[in-house]
């Protein structure tokens, strides 16, 4: 199963010349659909693609996840610098400017579920409806910059 977990994009640092941002990729808080992603359950191999708007054919750079903790996974994303393809340069520049100006409100990690538990109301998980999951083990292969809000 291919899933997405959303997090509000809180950029912690921007390095203008290097086109680098740092932030939080995911936390154990319920996402906008009520699912919980356990950060310590992620498996990944750095670097991974940084995608624009969940489009697999629209990479804009690379992302590296830092060591997961119980509080979440921080990341460093590096936007590419295109010089020959105008189409590629325009896409990357749009993504970079959108992040810098605060127009992009979310980062999403794409993942393949390995193990999860169903959340039921009253289990103190933070979810309020039936059918939500606590993803305890999963493989992440990318991060995406996207417009919609996580919460």
The tens digit of pLDDT for each residue in 17-56 reads 899 998 888 888 877 777 777 788 888 899 999 999 989 9
**Bigger pLDDT: 144 or 127?**
144
Q: For residue 75, what pLDDT is reported?
A: 92
**Is the confidence at residue 129, as pLDDT, over 50?**
no
**Is the confidence at residue 124, as pLDDT, over 80?**
no
Instruction: Give φ, ψ of 92 to 5 degrees.
Output: -65, -45
Q: Which two three-digit tokens encode residue 111?
A: 């993942």
Question: Over the chain, what is the mean pLDDT?
Answer: 77
- CA–CA separation, 21 and 13 (whole Å): 6
Determine, yes or no, domain membership for 98: yes
Determine, yes or no, domain membership for 42: yes
Average pLDDT over residues 63-76: 93
Determine, yes or no, domain membership for 136: yes
3-class secondary structure, 99: helix
Q: For residue 1, what pLDDT is reported?
A: 44
pLDDT band of residue 139 (cuts 50, 70, 90) is low
Average pLDDT over residues 48-66: 94
Report the run of H or E that residue 87 belongs to, with start and end. helix 86-100
Alpha helix ranges (H) inside 2-64 = none
Report the run of H or E that residue 94 belongs to, with start and end. helix 86-100
Average pLDDT over residues 69-86: 93
Report the run of H or E that residue 86 belongs to, with start and end. helix 86-100
The closest alpha carbon to 116, from 88, 131, 137, belongs to 137
Residue 63's domain comprises: 2-146
| Total structural domains within the chain | 1
- CA–CA separation, 89 and 37 (whole Å): 34
pTM above 0.85, yes or no: no
**Bigger pLDDT: 98 or 12?**
98
Determine, yes or no, domain membership for 151: no
Instruction: Give φ, ψ of 89 to 5 degrees.
Output: -60, -45
Percent of the chain with pLDDT over 70: 67
């Amino acid at each position: 199963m291919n899933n997405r977990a959303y997090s509000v994009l809180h950029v912690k640092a921007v390095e203008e010349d290097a086109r680098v941002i740092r932030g939080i990729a995911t936390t154990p808080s319920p996402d906008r659909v009520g699912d919980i992603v356990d950060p310590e359950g992620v498996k990944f191999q750095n670097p991974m693609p940084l995608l624009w708007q969940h489009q697999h054919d629209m990479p804009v750079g690379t992302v590296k996840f830092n060591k997961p903790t119980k509080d979440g996974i921080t990341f460093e994303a590096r936007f590419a610098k295109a010089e020959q393809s105008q189409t590629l340069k325009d896409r990357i520049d749009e993504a970079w400017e959108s992040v810098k100006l605060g127009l992009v409100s979310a980062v999403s990690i794409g993942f393949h579920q390995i193990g999860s538990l169903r959340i039921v109301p009253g289990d103190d998980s933070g979810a309020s409806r039936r059918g939500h999951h606590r993803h305890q083990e999963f493989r992440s292969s990318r991060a995406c910059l996207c417009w919609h809000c996580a919460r």
